[in-house]
Amino acid sequence: MAASQRDITEADDSGRKIVIIVAIIAAVVIAGLFYLLMRASSGRPATAVALQGAIRPGSPEWDKYAQYVVRDEPEADEAKRPLGDIWMSLHTTVRNFTGKTLNGLEVRASVVNQQGKAIKERTVTIIPSDEHTELAPNKTVPVAVALDGMNDGDDRANIKMEVTAFRFKP
């Protein structure tokens, strides 16, 4: 009878060892996946597609028309993602008071620290896009830019959104 109890105890111990080993391997695999996902989301460079043939700061047309391409004060929504980083959506409305139709609009959005240096920034082409091909005079277009990869330790003091280029319809 003592021999059969020893066999049962040894069987329970070996089963327990297998469960523990499988749990450790699963934990390592899951931790590795989370690590790769975090690196992929935070290491993504902000890609800027330059608006071809656009009027940019420094040109005479910019000085003449930039004051008539007006944006509302930007607002932001932020959320902490399960991966541990912070995602922010900056949004505003751009208004065209130039008297001409815009067929190109480029906007830069940034989260800045207390010294005014950008923590994260991204430049996007709003027009042309899937939703908007042009912006007629005295009309508006909503602008939303997503920024991710920030963490709790970042000094997120302010947000900025600015029109960096525009192009008129010929």
Question: So what's the pLDDT on residue 153?
Answer: 87
E strands along 31-139, which residues? 69-71, 75-80, 86-96, 102-112, 118-127
Per-residue model confidence as pLDDT tens digits over 74-86: 999 999 988 788 9
Task: Tell me which of 95 and 130 has the higher pLDDT.
Answer: 95
Is 45's pLDDT higher than 50?
A: no
C-alpha distances (whole Å) from 158 to each of 45, 53, 81, 118 are: 21, 31, 20, 9
Is 6's pLDDT higher than 70?
A: no
Per-residue model confidence as pLDDT tens digits over 54-63: 999 999 999 9
**What integer is the mean pLDDT of 44-62?**
77
> Which residue type does 89 have?
S
**What integer is the mean pLDDT of 114-121?**
92
Question: So what's the pLDDT on residue 119?
Answer: 93
Per-residue model confidence as pLDDT tens digits over 122-142: 999 999 988 889 999 999 999
Percent of the chain with pLDDT over 70: 85
Is 152's pLDDT higher than 90?
A: no
